[in-house]
Structure 1
Amino acid sequence: MMNIFTARNDSGETFTITKMNVERIKQEEKLYCKSCASPVMIKAGVIKVPHFAHEKATKCAFASEGESEEHLLAKRQIMEWFCYQGIPVEVEHYFPEINRQADIFMNNKRVIEFQRSSVPINEMIQRTMDYLSIGLEVHWILGQKIKKEKGRICLSAFQQAFIDSDYKLGYHFWHYSVESKLCTLYYHLTFEKGNCFFASEMKLSMKLPLNEWKQKLSRIIHRSAYIKRDRELERQKICFYYAKFKKHSTFMQKLYNAGYYLHYLPKEIGLDFEEQFLVKTPAIEWQFDLWEHFFKRLEKGDTFSEHSFLEEFQLVVNQIPTIWLSPNEHLKLGKSYLAYLIREGVLSTIPENRYRMKRIMTFTTTRMKQL
């Protein structure tokens, strides 16, 4: 059966079912799906969340077929919290002009989508664009469990798609736990390595009123992300990883064919930066490609523009898809690499967003594969 929370009667009156109003709704002779107009029945057991189900198999695109009990319960809990604040709210509101149905629709202007199961990220992006096209604000809340490891959070590629950026909060995202009825803001996300981030957390109970949430959020202050890194040790670990697990990869084959040995590449290749999570391409791979196709062709004293560098940078990286971040967000990674090369004395800045090669990136040893 396909499940929904809202239905209408013959008069067009809308009902959102809860444990409190089940008996009242049962008095209605006929109830219909608001989206497809097919007949629905009440399903209100002892354990499951009360809901409506289509009486017959239907192709209704907006019924919550396959939604877990946790997803249904999350929508219910969020709706009840807004009701507690006296904020107008509706679950499963249908927008015919874009053929979309929102999990939560509040204040007649904001849509909240709760996502527990992994779906194609492009689908979430398109849904967001559709809501924006009719003048609605859109908020996404992640419902999947967040893995934690030694003081860090580990985010899958799907979970990283929820990351947004803000001056005060930095990189951040919202999470909701049905079990604990806690909404958690993970903010000031700082990439460490792999899929691991350092993050600050603010847990906000659904038992607290909205004004207390706002007071807590107002205490967050802007700060710049920083991780003290041992660049030499990181390079050693990366080389060990590729030698053991990636020795047959396309990248290692490319190095071999070009006559290069991984451990002896210039020390400026293979460095993770805080923005590395914005691209799928491993640092050592995109930095090697930049060196081979851009920096290796420059001599000491040569100059180039930031624009030309970023054009080349975009050719060697594959950015991650996200719901909210700018399509150009990954360029911050390229600019961080430029800043690093300036600090290391490889580059110097000159007017009009241009750079001069102060020295050439050299191999850490002269040993190369003998051809």
Structure 2
Amino acid sequence: MGVFTSHMRCIMQLFAFNLHNQLVAAVHAEKHCDYICLECQKAVRLRGGRHRQKHYYHLQINQACSLHRKSMEHIQVQTYLYHLLPENDCVLECPFPTVSRIADVVWKSKKLIFEVQCSPITQEEVQNRCQDYRSCGYEIIWILHEKTFNRWKLCAAEVFLQDQTHYFTNMNKEGKGMIYDCYASIERGVRKKRMKPVEVQLNLPTLLNESGKNLPQFLKKRLETWHLHFEGDLVTRFFNQAYDFQEIISIEQKNETKPLTWIQAAKYALYFCIMRPYRLVFQLFLEKHSN
């Protein structure tokens, strides 16, 4: 892609569908050919060249189309998901007329909506979107960009999303970066301690019905409130592979100012070292017989 200075917002449309409903980047498009806008479904064509970044423009000005207001990072995350999810099962800028919404990314067969959020948003708007999409039979997964979210202090929207499936992203204007999960010790709306982020595979959803009896507090809360998890996130890593859960437990201990007894420590070790292998065997059995 051409140079895009850091202080500029994305007012150029860099992706569109061809007449076969295939996503085409502007750098691969042909001039004098019609393409389809991701949001308003109107005709767009290629513009630009050697001294100007290639981009699409509407053949007829459409003030109702808000795609130009989306940042480059937002569009790159959408494009990443489009290529990650199963072909012909993913829709970008999918309209939901009954609730007057347009979803960023929809995984049709799974009834999942991925909502990308790079700019500030109110708690009320987050709640309304969740309610609207669920009324249509879809579950919503929020992807929050770290340029606005996952900062020192939680905004009201983030406080609400603690009980909803959400992850973060650091994807830049060139499409480099990842979607990740990250443990943070939160006290009075402030992140006191953060651990290393771990990449999440959003093409691998999983339902967990594990008992929360012997789990760290943050895992208990997620299992109780999140409707869905994905491979690579903190919950699946706890059950499937080694992770620094002892450090998390230690952080929770300090927050509660209550020492961990040797019996509790033994329970954690028993759960992690014995129950986890049985769960993996059961999961492999299900995968084998579900094909």
Give the TM-score normalised by structure 1. 0.45
- Could you list the runs of 5+ residues in structure 1 that have no partner in the other structure? 167-171, 231-371
For 2:69, the equivalent position in structure 1 comes to: 66
Distance change (3 Å), C-alpha of 1:14 and 1:67: same
SS of corresponding position for 1:174: strand
Distance 1:79 1:88 in 2: 9
Residue in structure 2 matching 1:185, options 181, 185, 196: 181
| Structure 1 residue 143: Cα displacement | 0.7
Distance change (3 Å), C-alpha of 1:210 and 1:38: closer
Distance 1:205 1:99 in 2: 30
After superposition, what is the alpha-carbon deviation per residue over 1:211-260, rounded to whole angstroms, capped at 9, x for unaligned? 9x726752315877343478xxxxxxxxxxxxxxxxxxxxxxxxxxxxxx
| Structure 1 residue 135: Cα displacement | 0.5
Distance 2:103 2:45 in 1: 21
SS of corresponding position for 1:90: strand
| Structure 1 residue 48: Cα displacement | 9.2
For 2:100, the equivalent position in structure 1 comes to: 99
Structure (1 or 2) with the larger CA radius of gyration: 1
Distance 1:48 1:70 in 2: 20
SS of corresponding position for 1:154: coil
Q: Is the 8 A contact 2:153 2:190 kept in 1?
A: yes
Tell me which amino acid in the other structure corresponds to 1:17.
Answer: V
Distance 1:202 1:87 in 2: 31
After superposition, what is the alpha-carbon deviation per residue over 1:259-304, rounded to whole angstroms, capped at 9, x for unaligned? xxxxxxxxxxxxxxxxxxxxxxxxxxxxxxxxxxxxxxxxxxxxxx
Distance change (3 Å), C-alpha of 1:44 and 1:126: farther
SS of corresponding position for 1:219: helix
How many residue pairs are counted as aligned between the two chains? 209
Matched ranges for 1:1-371 at <5 A? 3=13, 5-7=15-17, 9=19, 13-18=20-25, 22-23=29-30, 28=33, 30-33=34-37, 36=40, 38-43=42-47, 52-61=56-65, 63-83=66-86, 88-108=89-109, 109-145=111-147, 154-158=152-156, 160-161=158-159, 163-165=161-163, 173-179=166-172, 180-187=176-183, 189-193=184-188, 195-204=190-199, 210=204, 214=231, 217-220=235-238, 225-228=252-255
SS of corresponding position for 1:128: helix
Distance 1:89 1:18 in 2: 17
- After superposition, the CA RMSD in angstroms is 4.0
SS of corresponding position for 1:190: strand
Tell me which amino acid in the other structure corresponds to 1:18.
Answer: A
Tell me which amino acid in the other structure corresponds to 1:106.
Answer: W
- Could you list the runs of 5+ residues in structure 2 that have no partner in the other structure? 1-10, 206-229, 240-244, 258-291
Distance 1:80 1:50 in 2: 21
Distance 2:53 2:79 in 1: 9
| Structure 1 residue 79: Cα displacement | 1.8
Distance 1:130 1:89 in 2: 20
Tell me which amino acid in the other structure corresponds to 1:75.
Answer: Q
Give the TM-score normalised by structure 2. 0.56
